A and B are shown apart, each in its own frame.
Chain A
């Protein structure tokens, strides 16, 4: 067996197991830790596809920053055990969740099957500069808007957390 396909199967198993762990584990902190494992597994998949930049971004942003913030939030907010049933408000809507998931899965798989995938075996050495060109030349307005959106969200979060002083 080739090394890349062996790596793919190992990573895929890891992603699926940890992904199931995110959903099924009883303790919410364990779920968050399993989420980090899922992110790292996805980064490994990017590596086998020779997209080192995306792999590093995946680890840095998702596993290193977002997951840590999620974990941090959970740690500060949950009282006591942190059971899934108590912390998830929408845990009881099983049937409607099932319908939504069914629709999503069928939609995504339909789109996956319909897309004419371009398969290339060439190595894309300049992937990072390509992404940089796309972000900072072609889609610079969208990029700046995303930055403004994030700033607004951050200010909003601070306002909610600290409250607003009247006549201050």
Chain B
């Protein structure tokens, strides 16, 4: 049990010991471990995308009372592999009038925020690649950058649908970032720390979802909006904007945006689990299994939301953020700090 709980920590320790045995100095061991961590995170990203693309289609099928993909492999579970091969072999079309450098770089940069964010998430006890003492703050800083590649994609495509999609995306992500940060502040107030591993440990008695229910609901809404998912998928808006920011992308480049979207949802689910649902803590099973289970449940919840609610209108979207969520989240912080002050 103890061994299973720390299996990844032991692997990392063994790897360091093995490198030292081979005669590497401290600097090179650190460099090598950094590469290993990065490779692991990229592997997690890929696996997450491969699995959840199919899981979402299956779940959507279940919600809409249809079988979903069911032809390739057992119960259709190999469908994503076939899709990936199809996308890889497709012709890559770049519009003649597009800003080719920006158009291309956007596909690379779209992966930077989720990869950087996964670096600090504690998947289990002592299982964060970097356990920064500014964890929450770092996450906010990194995820705030995800508007840049979306802007680059939309503007670089030189297409009016893309541009409208970009305008919507930037407006939406900037607006929903504010209540998102405020909802996280409630948790930080209670935990008294910004370090993610300490926030998880301070939830050993009671999860913050019970102490901060309003903040959790605000977090869920804002996380859906930040990842541009239905009912907040106005930047893409297939029925009105063709494919919004993704209109001028084809083949593997389009697939990269798709994969990044799933990575982003995984990241916000992991953040939600860490901040509100007790992270890796849980009985019987090893910590990292609990973490994966909880993240999977939260991810499925986001899928459930997507296939339940219709898309909302852009002006409703903006006024909902500024007139409902922002005041509510500020009130939540005020009430939390007042009670915190009185209890102390």
A contacts, CB < 8 Å to B: 3, 27, 29-30, 33, 36, 40, 52-53, 55-57, 59-60, 63-65, 67-69, 71-72, 75-76, 125, 128
Across the A-B interface, how many residue pairs have beta carbons closer than 8 Å?
67
Is the pair B141, A56 in contact by a Cβ cutoff of 8 Å?
yes
In this complex, what residue of A is CB-closest to B178?
A65
- Which A residues are CB-close (under 8 A) to B145? 40, 59, 63-64
Is the pair B147, A52 in contact by a Cβ cutoff of 8 Å?
no
**A30-B102, A59-B144, A65-B144 known; A71 vs B151 contact (CB < 8 Å):** yes
Please measure, in the bound complex, the distance between the C-alpha atom of A69 and the C-alpha atom of B163, giving whole angstroms.
15
Of the candidates B102, B167, B171, the one whose C-beta lies within 8 Å of that of A33 is B102
Of the candidates B31, B138, B141, B152, the one whose C-beta lies within 8 Å of that of A64 is B141
Of the candidates B148, B163, B194, the one whose C-beta lies within 8 Å of that of A68 is B148
- Count residues of B near A (Cβ-Cβ below 8 Å): 28
- Which B residues are CB-close (under 8 A) to A33? 102, 148, 152
Of the candidates A36, A55, A65, A75, the one whose C-beta lies within 8 Å of that of B174 is A65
- Which A residues are CB-close (under 8 A) to B27? 3
Is the pair A75, B148 in contact by a Cβ cutoff of 8 Å?
no
Please measure, in the bound complex, the distance between the C-alpha atom of A71 and the C-alpha atom of B140, giving whole angstroms.
20
Of the candidates B102, B141, B163, the one whose C-beta lies within 8 Å of that of A59 is B141
Is the pair B174, A56 in contact by a Cβ cutoff of 8 Å?
no
B30 proximal to A (CB < 8 A): yes
Please measure, in the bound complex, the distance between the C-alpha atom of A62 and the C-alpha atom of B248, giving whole angstroms.
29
The smallest beta-carbon distance between A131 and chain B, in angstroms, is: 12
Of the candidates A3, A60, A76, A125, the one whose C-beta lies within 8 Å of that of B140 is A60
B170 proximal to A (CB < 8 A): yes
Not counting A53-B137, A59-B141, a sample of 18 additional A-B residue pairs whose C-beta atoms are within 8 angstroms of each other reads A3-B27, A29-B102, A30-B102, A33-B152, A52-B132, A53-B134, A56-B134, A63-B145, A65-B174, A68-B147, A68-B170, A68-B174, A72-B170, A72-B174, A75-B151, A75-B163, A75-B167, A125-B133
- Which B residues are CB-close (under 8 A) to A75? 151, 155, 163, 166-167
Q: List 10 A-B contacts (CB under 8 A).
A: A33-B102, A40-B145, A59-B145, A60-B137, A64-B141, A64-B145, A68-B170, A71-B151, A71-B170, A128-B134
Most buried by B among A3, A36, A53, A60: A60
Chain A at the B interface: SS class: helix
The smallest beta-carbon distance between B337 and chain A, in angstroms, is: 13
Please measure, in the bound complex, the distance between the C-alpha atom of A52 and the C-alpha atom of B166, giving whole angstroms.
31
B142 proximal to A (CB < 8 A): yes
Please measure, in the bound complex, the distance between the C-alpha atom of A30 and the C-alpha atom of B174, giving whole angstroms.
21
Of the candidates A69, A76, A125, the one whose C-beta lies within 8 Å of that of B167 is A76
Most buried by B among A27, A68, A69, A128: A68
- Which A residues are CB-close (under 8 A) to B177? 64
- Which B residues are CB-close (under 8 A) to A63? 144-145, 148
The smallest beta-carbon distance between A41 and chain B, in angstroms, is: 13
Of the candidates B138, B151, B163, the one whose C-beta lies within 8 Å of that of A56 is B138
- Which A residues are CB-close (under 8 A) to B166? 75
In this complex, what residue of B is CB-closest to A58?
B141
- Which B residues are CB-close (under 8 A) to A30? 102
List B99-138 residues whose CB lies under 8 Å from chain A: 99, 102, 132-134, 137-138
List B182-226 residues whose CB lies under 8 Å from chain A: 194
**A60-B140, A68-B170 known; A52 vs B151 contact (CB < 8 Å):** no
- Which A residues are CB-close (under 8 A) to B151? 68, 71-72, 75
The smallest beta-carbon distance between A106 and chain B, in angstroms, is: 35
The smallest beta-carbon distance between B208 and chain A, in angstroms, is: 21
Please measure, in the bound complex, the distance between the C-alpha atom of A71 and the C-alpha atom of B174, giving whole angstroms.
13
- Which B residues are CB-close (under 8 A) to A40? 145
